[in-house]
Amino acid sequence: VQRIPVPLAGAPYEVWVGAGALEQLPEMLARACPAARYAVIADSAVADLYGDRVRTLAGAVAPATLFTFPAGEANKTRERWRDVTDAMLTSNIGRDGAVVALGGGVTGDLAGFVAATYHRGIPYVQVPTTVLAMVDASVGGKTAVDTRHGKNLVGAFHQPRAVVADVGLLATLPDNHARAGLAEAVKHGAVADRAHFARIERSGAALLRHDVEALTEVIADSVRIKAGVVADDEKEHGRRAILNFGHTVAHALERVAGYALLHGEAVAIGMHVEARLGERLGITEPGTAAALERALIKLGLPVTQSDHAPEALVSAMIHDKKSRDGTVRFAFLKRLGQAAAGDDGSWTVAAPQDAVLRALEP
Amino acid sequence: VQRIPVPLAGAPYEVWVGAGALEQLPEMLARACPAARYAVIADSAVADLYGDRVRTLAGAVAPATLFTFPAGEANKTRERWRDVTDAMLTSNIGRDGAVVALGGGVTGDLAGFVAATYHRGIPYVQVPTTVLAMVDASVGGKTAVDTRHGKNLVGAFHQPRAVVADVGLLATLPDNHARAGLAEAVKHGAVADRAHFARIERSGAALLRHDVEALTEVIADSVRIKAGVVADDEKEHGRRAILNFGHTVAHALERVAGYALLHGEAVAIGMHVEARLGERLGITEPGTAAALERALIKLGLPVTQSDHAPEALVSAMIHDKKSRDGTVRFAFLKRLGQAAAGDDGSWTVAAPQDAVLRALEP
């Protein structure tokens, strides 16, 4: 089990990555997140698989109760946040309680937002059960719910006390979810570490057959890369914006597709589109989109979409929370392994609408 | 206009106190809280009085829109928080927007929680319009909404960028609200500054006739005292708990009375009850409750209640968020001007239920 530091100024913590890491949960809770009570929050599907086990492990440190909500991104809402909060209040969990967020990205975001706002904030740890949650949601402290206006529009920054990423739990993850999760790992390579990008492409076959060693390496390296970016810019005022590469398009796709696409699939398409757009605008080195395309296809990920009109996607982008006054901004690559800085010292660039429309054409 | 620093480690800010301070809002927004758009949030009653004026003042810096919600503590809920958030999203206010919270404690808490969670947190300033909000809510960064389980159970710490406390706005405040607000000023004196306590008692008559100079002095001193306590302990892990003096009983009273009492009235009763309880437990110097009683009565505030059975109040306390595992804890005075430290290094003390019941008898 590797212990990867996330060196945040106010609240440094560790991500424990490896097969069997879950068995160390009691040690980790006792050390990094002691509490009078634990609220283990999971969706109904993950609760069936791992709920009892995690409740028992947490229960070795302090009384632990399992709280569930219906599975699916459609439930990452203020209403489910309220329901979980009220169930915890009914159980008399106090300010000295803590949350164990057990599940994928939706659970991490929702349970994290419960922890961020329960009694004005109680500690929490994450036990991610998907590749996506391990490589992405485990670092950064972003919690949120969706609204009908878009994804993640309501939330808070709330750093976990620790994260246990047990690669063994991925055995129950459907193949399409495993592939989709790797899209964010590819992104970490694309924006900040070309060697990581190359490694993922090389290990493609092993990753797709759930090879525990290959997964552990890729996840641990992705966490390291993201930790470096986030530690520089905890509240996303500057360079952290590079992690939004691919996401302007991805969020628009998810909105228009009604979340029929997995997040990682949308990010894969988004990275390819935004690389093409960046090349056309002269920001991104030519050939970058093609290299991304090769790697993503090797991982079984989509790189184009033809279900939605470019105009509908642009309209969705204007409502994205990164939109400023109706302009759509993108985090572009300079080249593989390096993000592009904007002219104004920011890390995002406004793109003309016609260029965006052309890049979105299949 | 006095500018009082609130020296928080990460995010120091100033509270501007005085008659006419509101005219300096544009200068203050431009300096401390620049934004692409301003969302002025007020309840329906305050919007009628000051909504246009504040929107115009903010509008001198950037486009400003007024958002209102129905007046009253019964509206400090997740539903109204959602409504205001959705109205701002519909208006396309982005991450580069900021909130101006215009009103009393309810608005400060609700609008502050909107700002704390909108796009994972946008900046905000407070323009308090009640004595209570000026002396209390203006310092500390506590934002919250109520649930059926109790007050302030869901919220976040989110520090304002600045506060403009224009004592002139208090001219429209009903007398009972002005008196109730002074209860928190009395509390600041009681827990941390005996001279402040004595000054309030001495200025009682001037304060009750809304004398602008007397109000400015008391409010400015209260802000200074609270700023000192909060700067020591931003997230309420330690000494800041002394500000809960009177509040264990007050919150229980408010729950049981269905918020028919004003918060300051409940705090006045709560301080008197908790001082009596502290004396009986040998924690508080004898005579403290009597001295508090004299000062509170001089300010026209209640010191006892006979509408509710002690048992009902104790049951409500057990559900208070400061309750740990069913024990009820209090922040006691050692003597006037000084809080009592607990045995365990904390600033709260568990009290036996029978003593609490006796202290609650009228």
Which tens digit of pLDDT belongs to each residue from A218-274?
999 999 999 999 988 877 778 889 999 999 999 999 889 876 889 999 999 999 999
Q: What is the three-class DSSP state of A303?
A: coil
Q: Read off the pLDDT of each residue in B141-170 and give the average, rounded to a whole number.
A: 95
The active-site residue out of A236, A285, A308, A334 is: A236
Cα–Cα distance, A130 to A109 (Å, whole number): 13
Cα A203 from chain centroid? 21
Q: Given an 8 Å threshold on Cβ–Cβ distance, is B157 in contact with A121?
A: yes
CA distance B165 to chain A (A): 25
Checking if the pLDDT of A183 tops 80, the result is yes
- Compute the mean pLDDT over every residue in chain A, rounded to the nearest whole number: 94
Confidence at B325, pLDDT banded by 50, 70, 90: low
Nearest to B156 among A116, A318, A324 (CB): A116
Q: Given an 8 Å threshold on Cβ–Cβ distance, is B156 in contact with A155?
A: no
Q: Given an 8 Å threshold on Cβ–Cβ distance, is A119 in contact with B321?
A: yes
Cβ–Cβ < 8 Å for A166, A128:
no
Q: Read off the pLDDT of each residue in A321-342 and give the average, rounded to a whole number.
A: 84
pTM of the full structure: 0.91
**Residue A87 at interface with chain B, using a CB cutoff of 8 Å:** no
Chain B residues with CB inside 8 Å of A235's CB?
Answer: 121
pLDDT attached to residue B359: 93
Q: Given an 8 Å threshold on Cβ–Cβ distance, is A86 in contact with B10?
A: no
**Residue B315 at interface with chain A, using a CB cutoff of 8 Å:** no
Those residues whose C-beta lies under 8 Å from the C-beta of residue A4, and which sit 6 or more positions away, are A14, A15, A16, A17, A220, A223, A224, A227
Using CA coordinates, name the residue in chain B closest to A326. B92
* Percent of all residues in chain A with a pLDDT value above 70, rounded to a whole number: 98
**Residue A149 at interface with chain B, using a CB cutoff of 8 Å:** yes
Task: Let me know the angle formed at the C-alpha of A149 by A146 and A150, rounded to the nearest 5 degrees.
Answer: 50
* Percent of all residues in chain B with a pLDDT value above 70, rounded to a whole number: 98
pLDDT attached to residue A323: 62
Q: Given an 8 Å threshold on Cβ–Cβ distance, is A94 in contact with B323?
A: yes
Backbone dihedral angles phi then psi of residue A39, each to the nearest 5 degrees = -105, 105
Task: Let me know the angle formed at the C-alpha of A334 by A328 and A335, rounded to the nearest 5 degrees.
Answer: 130
pLDDT attached to residue A273: 97
Cβ–Cβ < 8 Å for B272, B293:
yes
- The yes-or-no answer on residue A308 being catalytic is no
Bridge partners (DSSP) listed for residue B169 = none
For A38, which DSSP code? Answer: E
What is the DSSP annotation of B168-223? GGGGGS-HHHHHHHHHHHHHHHHHH-HHHHHHHHHTHHHHHTT-HHHHHHHHHHHH
pLDDT attached to residue A321: 60
The active-site residue out of B179, B251, B276, B329 is: B251
Cα–Cα distance, B290 to A235 (Å, whole number): 49
**Residue B344 at interface with chain A, using a CB cutoff of 8 Å:** no
Cβ–Cβ < 8 Å for A46, A102:
yes
- A107 is written with which tokens? 């659970």
- The yes-or-no answer on residue B120 being catalytic is yes
pLDDT attached to residue B324: 60
CA distance A29 to chain B (A): 19
Q: Given an 8 Å threshold on Cβ–Cβ distance, is B321 in contact with A95?
A: yes
**Residue B10 at interface with chain A, using a CB cutoff of 8 Å:** yes
**Residue B258 at interface with chain A, using a CB cutoff of 8 Å:** no
Which of B37, B88, B117, B233 is the best mutation test for A, with the most CBs of A within 10 A?
B117
* Percent of all residues in chain B with a pLDDT value above 90, rounded to a whole number: 83
ipTM confidence = 0.90
Q: Read off the pLDDT of each residue in B291-295 and give the average, rounded to a whole number.
A: 97
CB atoms within 10 A of CB B297: 14
- The yes-or-no answer on residue A184 being catalytic is yes
**Residue B8 at interface with chain A, using a CB cutoff of 8 Å:** no
Q: Given an 8 Å threshold on Cβ–Cβ distance, is B96 in contact with A325?
A: yes
Which of A149, A154, A233, A347 is the best mutation test for B, with the most CBs of B within 10 A?
A154
Q: Given an 8 Å threshold on Cβ–Cβ distance, is A117 in contact with B36?
A: no
Q: What is the three-class DSSP state of B155?
A: strand
Positive/negative CA dihedral, B341, B343, B346, B349: negative
- The yes-or-no answer on residue A226 being catalytic is yes
Checking if the pLDDT of A322 tops 90, the result is no
Torsion of CA A23, A28, A34, A39, to 10 degrees: -50
Exposure string (b/e) for B344-362, b if CB count within 10 Å is 16 or more?
Answer: eebbbbbbeeeebeebbee
Nearest to A321 among B119, B150, B319 (CB): B119
Cα–Cα distance, A162 to A124 (Å, whole number): 8
- Amino acid residing at B238: G
Bridge partners (DSSP) listed for residue B123 = none
- Structural Rg of chain A based on CA atoms: 19
Bridge partners (DSSP) listed for residue A40 = A66, A100
Helix ranges (H only) for chain A are 25-32, 44-46, 52-59, 78-90, 105-117, 131-132, 175-192, 194-202, 204-208, 212-232, 247-256, 263-280, 288-298, 310-318, 353-360
The active-site residue out of B177, B239, B263, B276 is: B263
CA distance B194 to chain A (A): 31
- The yes-or-no answer on residue A251 being catalytic is yes
**Residue B96 at interface with chain A, using a CB cutoff of 8 Å:** yes
Confidence at A325, pLDDT banded by 50, 70, 90: low
Integer angstrom CA distances of residue A56 from A21, A38, A60, A66, A345? 15, 11, 6, 10, 50
If you count DSSP H runs as helices and E runs as strands, how many of each does chain B have, helices first? Answer: 15, 13
Confidence at B270, pLDDT banded by 50, 70, 90: very high
- The yes-or-no answer on residue B236 being catalytic is yes
Confidence at B192, pLDDT banded by 50, 70, 90: very high
**Residue B194 at interface with chain A, using a CB cutoff of 8 Å:** no
Checking if the pLDDT of A6 tops 80, the result is yes
Q: Read off the pLDDT of each residue in A314-319 and give the average, rounded to a whole number.
A: 87
CA distance B157 to chain A (A): 6
Burial of A42 (0-12, 13-18, 19+ CB in 10 A): buried
**Residue B31 at interface with chain A, using a CB cutoff of 8 Å:** no
Checking if the pLDDT of B334 tops 90, the result is yes
Cα–Cα distance, A243 to A295 (Å, whole number): 18
Q: State pLDDT tens for residues B7-45.
A: 988 889 999 999 999 999 999 999 999 999 999 999 999
Cα A56 from chain centroid? 27
Confidence at B322, pLDDT banded by 50, 70, 90: low
- The yes-or-no answer on residue A177 being catalytic is no
The active-site residue out of B76, B179, B240, B255 is: B240
